[in-house]
A = this chain, B = another copy of it.
Amino acid sequence: MPASIPHDTLVANLSRHISLSEDELALFCARLRPHKVKRKEFLLRQGEIARDSAFVVSGCMKAYATDTNGFEHILRFATPGWWVSDLSSFITKRQSQLAVEAVRDTQLLLLSRSDQLELFDKIPKLERYFRILMENALVTTQMRLMDNMTLTARERYQRFCRMYPELVNEIPLKLIASFIGVTPEFLSRIRAAK
């Protein structure tokens, strides 16, 4: 199958970690379903089953939970080159704790769990790719957890700026506040005091 532009983004990402033959690439790409979501549109709502993991080609998604007081807590943003889902629901097919929603108009490539597992059998190098992604995501998440326990709000903001430089001036302040775990007013004071 001819490679299209969205797939090219993924192929560039793959080639950072593994090297696939043309046949293997075609087999993989044939299982990816292009999907577009408009800003504020959901890929997954809290309580649904996450059928797919989504590769971000362009745009930006957020994965978040809403607490019993209605406050939104952002687990992560997914910018181009990242996969996003509610991993727990994707693996176990239990109800998702997270919602996944577009922060901007976003172009995605969707991969179902059953297709992913089948591909692991057919193309072991793909299992390597996802093993490496899982390792990196675990490192990032552990670091974020330790940051939340040990850093001040100002330090967490500085870490956010290093982690997502492309988002700092591009997304609403309240989303950054929700990621850092402070009110937008408090974040404004941190930024003013910089």
**Interface-forming stretch among A6-14, A33-41, A101-109, A122-130?**
A122-130
| Pair A87/B142 contact, Cβ less than 8 Å | yes
Residues on the B chain within 8 Å of A183, using CB:
none
Take A127-B124, A134-B134 as given contacts and tell me if A149 and B148 are in contact as well, using a CB distance cutoff of 8 Å. Answer: yes
Once the chains are docked, how many angstroms separate the CA of A127 from the CA of B135? 12
Q: Does A154 contact B (CB under 8 A)?
A: no
Main secondary structure on chain A at its contact with chain B?
Answer: helix
- From residue 52 to 90 of chain A, which have CB atoms closer than 8 A to chain B? 65, 67, 71, 73, 75, 87-88
User: Closest residue of chain B to A130, judged by CB?
Assistant: B131
Which of A67, A138, A141, A148 has the most chain B CB atoms closer than 10 A to its own CB? Answer: A138
In order of increasing CB-CB distance, the 9 nearest A-B pairs are: A134-B134, A131-B131, A73-B149, A67-B150, A88-B139, A124-B124, A141-B141, A138-B138, A145-B145
